[in-house]
Amino acid sequence: MSLTAISSTPSGGRSSGDGGLNLGYSRTIPGLLKIGQLLSLLVAFLCVRLARGWPNWYAFQFFEVVLLWFLVAFLIFFLMHLCRLQVKMPCINWPLAEFFHYFVGSVLIFIASIIAAVKCGAVSSLVVASVFGLIATFLMVVNLWTSYSVACGPAAGMSSPLIGQFV
């Protein structure tokens, strides 16, 4: 008879010893943020890809490359959390790696979205693509803000020296 230990995780999902999928992650705040980021990046990429008559070829090539790069990177991070790969590879500080990747992604996608909005030339699908790029930027900034304490820890100097005297 084989026994498998099952425990509950803080995200509300169930964790089994066999290392299966963590589908409960997709119902947490970080999971929903990642899903929203993936969907907004996918919509923005498809709008640019399917648009006819780019007014500025170089600007939209840059926008397309940035969108595609971070779409694939965020999909890898999402799948990493679903498959619990961060537990299997403890040599990498995953929260810090994700934090820096989201920081760079939010800056580059913001720049690319602003360039796309300026150079869209009233082509409606390119306007929509730049709006979805800005939505993805907003979701990434929210994710950065919520994950800052996990990646960087509590601020050093925030505890009062008087508290230790009374305990």
- Residue range 133-159: average pLDDT? 76
Q: Is residue 118 part of a domain?
A: yes
Task: Say what the pLDDT of residue 140 is.
Answer: 93
CB 67 within 8 A of CB 38: no
Q: Is residue 13 part of a domain?
A: no
- Give the pLDDT band of residue 88 (cuts 50, 70, 90): confident
Is the pLDDT assigned to residue 129 strictly greater than 90? yes
Structural domain harbouring 146: 28-150
Could you tell me which residue, 94 or 5, shows the higher pLDDT? 94
Q: Identify the DSSP state of 16.
A: E
User: If you average pLDDT over every residue of the chain, what do you get?
Assistant: 81
Q: Is residue 155 part of a domain?
A: no
Task: Say what the pLDDT of residue 106 is.
Answer: 94
Q: Is residue 19 part of a domain?
A: no
What percent helix, strand, coil does the chain show, rounded to 5?
70, 5, 25
Tell me what percent of the residues of the chain surpass a pLDDT of 70.
77
Q: Is residue 160 part of a domain?
A: no
Nearest to 77 by CA among 92, 63, 64, 60: 92
Is the pLDDT assigned to residue 46 strictly greater than 50? yes
Q: Is residue 10 part of a domain?
A: no
Is the pLDDT assigned to residue 19 strictly greater than 50? yes
The count of structural domains within the chain is: 1
Task: Say what the pLDDT of residue 34 is.
Answer: 92
Q: How far apart are CA 65 and CA 142, in angstroms?
A: 23
Is the pLDDT assigned to residue 135 strictly greater than 90? yes
Q: Is residue 20 part of a domain?
A: no
Q: Is residue 164 part of a domain?
A: no
Q: How far apart are CA 101 and CA 19, in angstroms?
A: 26
